[in-house]
Structure 1
Amino acid sequence: MERTSVSSSNVASVGHDESSRTLEVEFLNGAIYEYYDVPEYVYQELIAASSVGGYLAQRVKGVYSFSRVG
């Protein structure tokens, strides 16, 4: 999955696959997580957020199922 670099103190890049509704998040520490059944608009809001980490914490973590993939 292609990821887009973001300006964040914790997140390096994010990507979204519309067909599988999978959001992929790469953290600066090298960890990569996939979040499942995430709508496209959530990805768009995430990359446009003034605080990517804040948006992730409030609107993604604890809302969508996930697994660590890297």
Structure 2
Amino acid sequence: MRRKPVKSSVVRSIGYDPESKTMELEFSDGSLYEYYSVPAAIHRRLMEADSIGGFLNRFVVPGYKSRKI
């Protein structure tokens, strides 16, 4: 999955596959996580958030299943 670099102290890059609704995040420490069944609107809001880490912890982490890859 192709990821786009983002300006965040927590997240380095974010990718999204609209067909599978899978979002992939590369964190600043180099770890990679996939989040599943993420609506396109959540991905868009994350990309537009003033605080990517804050949005991630408030809406994505508690709301969607994930796994480290």
TM-score > 0.5, shorter chain as reference:
yes
User: Which TM-score bucket, shorter chain as reference?
Assistant: over 0.9
Which stretches in structure 1 are left out of the alignment for 5+ residues? none
Which stretches in structure 2 are left out of the alignment for 5+ residues? none
1:12-31 mapped onto 2 (5 Å cutoff): 12-31=12-31
The CA RMSD measured in Å over matched residues stands at 0.5
Could you tell me the TM-score, scaled by structure 2's length?
0.97
Amino acid at match of 2:35: Y
1:39 is the counterpart of 2:39 = yes
Amino acid at match of 1:48: E
Q: Tell me the distance in 1 between the aligned counterparts of 2:57 and 2:4.
A: 18
Secondary structure of the corresponding residue to residue 14 of structure 2: strand
Alpha-carbon distance, 1:62 to partner: 1.4
Q: CA-to-partner distance for each residue in 1:12-48, whole Å, 9 max, x for gaps? A: 0001100000010100100000000000111111011
Aligned length: 69
Secondary structure of the corresponding residue to residue 30 of structure 2: coil
Secondary structure of the corresponding residue to residue 45 of structure 2: helix
Could you tell me the TM-score, scaled by structure 1's length?
0.96
